[in-house]
Amino acid sequence: MNVIEQFDALVDARNYRDALPVIREIVKRAPHIATSHFNLGVCLDELGRHSEAAEAFIKAQELDVEDWGTHYRIVRSLFLAGDFTTLHEFIDYSCGMSDRVMHLICEDEAFNPLFERLEFQQLRTKYLK
């Protein structure tokens, strides 16, 4: 079984703790592949390590700028980590690329608490036209 098959088997079994060092090895071997960074973020997110997950998703997004699923995962991870400063900056950046991002955030009830904060109300006003 190669390292990718090993990783896939561990994820299929929802064994993210054991999958984490495997995906780290995959990222180390091929740091230029966005999907590997994304998968690292998924493992970290599943382990409740949301700040680290956001960092992995951000690296994935740097390698594949218009992967909107990765944008969503960054928003989600930063939100769960409570990193509202970075979240505000990222949403502003992401919405600057596509105003559809703000629509998607507003449509997801999980993000409703964001709009209790003035800075996110201002972003909503800025991008919802």
pTM here? 0.93
Q: Write the DSSP symbol of residue 64.
A: S
pLDDT in tens, 60-117: 999 999 999 999 999 999 999 999 999 999 999 999 999 889 999 999 999 999 999 9
Quote the pLDDT of residue 107.
94
Query: What is the rounded CA–CA span in Å between residue 106 and residue 124?
Result: 8
Query: What is the rounded CA–CA span in Å between residue 92 and residue 20?
Result: 31
Domains recognised in the chain with CATH numbers: 3-127 (1.25.40.10)
Quote the pLDDT of residue 36.
97
pLDDT in tens, 26-61: 999 999 999 999 999 999 999 999 999 999 999 999
Query: What is the rounded CA–CA span in Å between residue 111 and residue 103?
Result: 11
Closest CA to 40 of 75, 102, 25: 25
Closest CA to 24 of 9, 37, 12: 37
Quote the pLDDT of residue 89.
97
Confidence grade of residue 129 (pLDDT, cut at 50, 70, 90): confident
Q: Tokens 């900056």 sit at which residue?
A: 89
